[in-house]
Amino acid sequence: MSVCPHCGKPIILAKPESTPPLFPDHLTEHLTVSDEGKYFVVKATHFLGKDMFGEVAGLVKKLGGEYVSMGKQSHFRIPKQR
């Protein structure tokens, strides 16, 4: 994951402008997205709560992704090829 050299915040990778973003604006400030080869890995920057977690999980599922439960390393992953 990349971080801003000035403020230290995670850099959110965006898809090319010709395609829609992965998540709506109100969610992007709570998530980081990194390119991990075959997958985009989506991690929360803090505890999301039930409603926001459900919204993210629903969007990830629509994109063919899944939730990977690994304790503090838990994340969503979305395959690049569907």
pLDDT tens digits, one per residue of 42-60 = 999 999 999 999 999 999 9
pLDDT at residue 26, rounded to an integer: 87
pLDDT tens digits, one per residue of 17-39 = 433 467 888 888 899 988 888 99
CA nearest 59: which of 46, 80, 75, 78?
Answer: 78
Of the options 3.30.1360, 2.30.30, 3.40.50, 1.25.40, the CATH number for the domain spanning 1-82:
3.30.1360
Predicted TM-score of the model (pTM): 0.71
pLDDT at residue 25, rounded to an integer: 84
Sequence ranges of the domains in the chain: 1-82
First to last CA, the chain: 23
Within 13 Å of residue 53, how many CA atoms lie on the same side as its CB?
8
- List CB contacts of 2: < 8 A, sequence separation 6 or more: 10, 11, 13, 34
What is the pLDDT averaged over residues 6-22? 56
